[in-house]
Amino acid sequence: MALTGVTRPGHVQLKMVDLEAGIRFYRDVLGLEETGRDAAGRVYFKTWDERDHSSVILRQADEAGLDFFGFKVLDEATLDQLEKDLQAYGVETQRKPKGDLLETGERVQFKIPSGHTIELYATKTQVDAPYGQQDPKPYTAASDRGIAPIRLDHALLYGPNVDKVLDLFTNVLGFHLTEYVTLPNSDEKGALWLACSNKAHDIAFVGHPEPGRLHHVSFLLDSWDRVLRAADIMALNGVPVDIGPTRHGITRGGTIYAWDPSGNRFETFMGGSAPYPDWKPIRWTWEGLGEGGGLDVAHRKLHDTFLTVVT
């Protein structure tokens, strides 16, 4: 499909209760490449195969969690138009100046009904492919440093008003609903998987009484073998694991969920469906989420920590 409007997830800023421990984890265990530090003390990272300057930003904080999740838009004209569309919809926006984040242009930041801060940007400095821009090599040493994900893939956010979030993302930002879960004995949507591309999802939401909570940030791996390799690396480094390795019914992706040193959950993810925007969304019932293997195909059950632990 042609990528227009909002094109893809771009970056995430995470709060670390121990920044140095977070740096070591994201660099040495997850295997990201450090790309800069700014005057505010934030540390920037990218995966080995990403072309943008950075996709993960860490900062010191008193508690773990999410500051914001950002999406890349097609160009500056699109950024301007989406800001006008958001304002017309009734969403208050704030412009962040060029350079407020390293190597990043102006950003339009706004709060959504679930209490999360989302931002859009059109410009970020790009770097060359690690294996060359001409006649590229199939392999680079960086692709084996730590878990070594290919890219920042998506986030799952917990908060209230998921019906209002759905309306905002589909009718203003141009996303489409790929899958959803209904609440017990109801047709009300309690969880959403949304895409701005033909990926299984670019962002997801689950209804939760507390606003602005992070469930996980996900990093893409290119095969099931790499997910199993990630499990070995987590075991070697004593990383606490929540679920996996297993496979989801929802999105059909292979997965491991674990926690970074500050308690932020992250996912190592592979595969997944690739729905086109004109496909009807898949409906999951609450029973299907558990006994039907929507969350965990192998064990066909719900995991208490998965449903309750957020930052």
Asked if 290 and 304 touch (Cβ cutoff 8 Å), the reply is no
The residue among 68, 26, 63, 62 whose CA lies nearest residue 43 is 26
**Active site (annotated) includes residue 11:** no
Asked if 72 and 122 touch (Cβ cutoff 8 Å), the reply is yes
**Active site (annotated) includes residue 188:** no
Q: Is 218 helix (H, G, I), strand (E, B) or coil?
A: strand
**Active site (annotated) includes residue 216:** yes
- Could you say which of 33, 50, 106, 267 is catalytic? 267
- Could you say which of 11, 116, 208, 216 is catalytic? 216
**Active site (annotated) includes residue 248:** yes
**Active site (annotated) includes residue 201:** yes
Asked if 67 and 30 touch (Cβ cutoff 8 Å), the reply is no
Q: Rounded to the nearest 5°, which phi and psi values hold at 277?
A: -60, -25
The residue among 125, 62, 75 whose CA lies nearest residue 99 is 125
Asked if 219 and 30 touch (Cβ cutoff 8 Å), the reply is yes
Beta strands 213-220 and 265-271: pairing type? parallel
**Which of the 8 DSSP states describes residue 126?**
B
- Could you say which of 26, 121, 180, 257 is catalytic? 257
**Active site (annotated) includes residue 106:** no
- Could you say which of 53, 154, 208, 215 is catalytic? 154
Asked if 178 and 282 touch (Cβ cutoff 8 Å), the reply is yes
How many Å apart are CA 192 and CA 141, to the nearest integer? Answer: 37
Which residues face 151 on adjacent strands?
Answer: 220
**Strands, E, within the chain: which ranges?**
6-16, 33-37, 43-46, 56-60, 65-73, 93-96, 107-111, 117-121, 151-159, 176-182, 189-195, 203-207, 213-220, 241-247, 253-259, 265-271, 282-284
Q: Rounded to the nearest 5°, which phi and psi values hold at 237?
A: -100, 5
- Could you say which of 116, 201, 208, 215 is catalytic? 201
Active-site residue set: 154, 201, 216, 248, 257, 267
